[in-house]
Chain A
Amino acid sequence: MRRSRSQRWLFAVPAALSVLGLSVPLAALVGRALTQGTGHLVDPAIGAAVRLSLATSAISTLVVIALGTPLAYVMARYRFRGRGLVQLVIDLPIVLPPMVAGIGLLMAFGRQGLLGAPLSVLGISLPFTTVAVVMAQAFVAGPFFVRSATIGFAAVDRSVREAAAVEGATELEVFRKIEVPLAARPIGSGIVLAWARAVGEFGATIFFAGNREGVTQTMPLLIFVGFETEIEVAIALSVVLVAMSAVVLGVLRLLDRPGVVGH
């Protein structure tokens, strides 16, 4: 077989520039952090923010999986009136600035909000609580999971499903034993995207959940506060966030290797 003339450099050079553009800011951050030492990591607010971020992003990702999987399945399988509108509702949070999500959540679930007003009669107040942090994260992260999972379900071969149905499998059995395993990789990458979005969430959180150490002050919020007050804390915590994200992404990539899940 004849190989086409190699023009790899046409792609390799711009690709290398892209890698440089992505890695230089991170390298500069780590470099600066190394020169300032680890003294700033002992700030108790940092530990509280790391714990809160890990807990809330894990919970919000689980919420997104629980609520988003049926939605993705419906979007991939069913044809119904208003489907385009539903798709728009799913896509909008991806496009909108997170602050818009925060204001929207406040209008809906705030003490004077659409649903928040009746809730507050029952003595339930959501703003400025950890629950509000999870809600903000799930709202902005959910669409990433739903989009990815929808693509996964849509790609499952129709003949496989029909064969199972002919064998007498119920729709739930087909979903559990065929659809989900065959769509495992897109679902997995949807989970990664959603978690990544949740752990980095800032705008919606600061509007809806506020900023209180140990309750609603997640890592991105503490980084922002640090930039206002003590830049060294912001830098130290930024590096912690980078490392934490790299570890989680690395573990998920290991799980995603062929033979581990699905294929």
Chain B
Amino acid sequence: MKRIVALVATLPLALVAACGPAPSSSSLPGASAPASTTGVVGGEVQVYAPGALAAHTDLIAAAYAAARPGATAAFEVSHTPTQYEQLKQGSTTDVWIAANPKLMAQAGTDDLVLADPSRPVVRTKLAIVTAPGNPAGISSPADLAKPGVKLLLAEDQLPIGMAVSTFLQKMDAGQPGYSDRVKANVSSRELGVKPIVAKVGLGEADAGIVFVTDVDEKVGVVPIPDDVNAMLSLEVAPVTKADHPEAARQFVDYLASPQGIQVLLDAGYLPSE
């Protein structure tokens, strides 16, 4: 018990030592712990992640624990605008991964995140998912405008909703009135990608538009051509008021490194620009 207390007590000092001259650190036995020499901080880092990463947080956590022994990452998945609001209300989570570069920039301006080290990680893009058996016979984006198709889209202001708006605008350029016909088919504005995949997978709706990285084996996938598709960039930054600032920096460094990015590329994400 005593040993644990001593270890916990020396940890902050080791951090201070890494940042600058530590006051009388030599007088404490064990102050020169390995942590200060390797720069690796054990313990847990708390990460806010967007819905666009929901299906892959376990994957990132496993890869991170393997790459940085003794370190673990715990994820809280929610909508990027919600998390922005939570940061504004004083959340002391360690790292924010945002699916909206504008909100990330705003958070930097508001001094909620350390914007300078905010870095692009990967991108994802849109795809159409269809119900089991594809009852509405969807084989291209044009089919979404057929009368009677039961379609699920996300709320406009979510990252997925904004990407869909971009896609609809691009389609309008080639097929005037496309977005109006598509919107007439919308059964519900879902609050995220996962509910769309789940409800289409259950066959409650004929089709939905989601990120290609969110599909599961229950739904069919119809690709959206790149010229009309919309890209979503994921960025990561340490939170200014992080409970564990050093662990936050270490996680951000890992996720934005070629090694961290490769984990997500293998999962189907696209390299950032």
Contacts and interface: CB of A to CB of B under 8 A. Distances in A.
B190 A211 contact: yes
A128 B157 contact: no
Contacts of B190: 210-211
A161 interface: no
Contacts of B155: 211, 225, 228-229
Contacts of B156: 229
Interface of A is mostly: loop
A160 B188 CA distance: 53
Question: Most B CB atoms within 10 A — which of A112, A128, A228, A229?
Answer: A228
Given A111-B203, A128-B150, A212 B188 contact: yes
A11 B158 CA distance: 48
A183 interface: no
B176 to A, nearest CB: 24
A111 B204 contact: yes
A207 B203 CA distance: 14
Contact of B158 (A206, A212, A228, A230): A228
B98 to A, nearest CB: 14
Interface residues of A, number: 23
Nearest to A212: B188
Nearest to A125: B150
B191 A225 contact: yes
A125 B202 CA distance: 14
Nearest to B88: A231
Contact of A110 (B157, B158, B188, B203): B203
Contact of A128 (B158, B187, B203): B187
Nearest to A110: B204
A210 B188 contact: yes
Nearest to B189: A211
Interface in A211-241: 211-213, 216-217, 224-225, 227-231
A246 B223 CA distance: 50
B150 to A, nearest CB: 7
A230 B85 CA distance: 10
Interface in B70-129: 79, 81-82, 85
B189 A212 contact: yes
Give me the 10 closest cross-chain CB pairs, A-B, nearest first. Answer: A210-B188, A229-B157, A128-B187, A112-B203, A110-B204, A211-B189, A127-B204, A228-B81, A128-B188, A212-B188
16 contacts: A106-B204, A112-B202, A128-B150, A128-B204, A206-B191, A210-B188, A210-B190, A210-B199, A211-B188, A212-B187, A212-B189, A216-B188, A225-B189, A228-B157, A230-B157, A231-B85
Given A106-B202, A212-B187, 20 more contacts: A110-B203, A111-B202, A112-B204, A128-B188, A128-B205, A206-B191, A209-B188, A210-B189, A211-B188, A211-B190, A211-B191, A212-B188, A212-B189, A225-B189, A227-B85, A228-B81, A228-B191, A229-B81, A229-B155, A229-B156
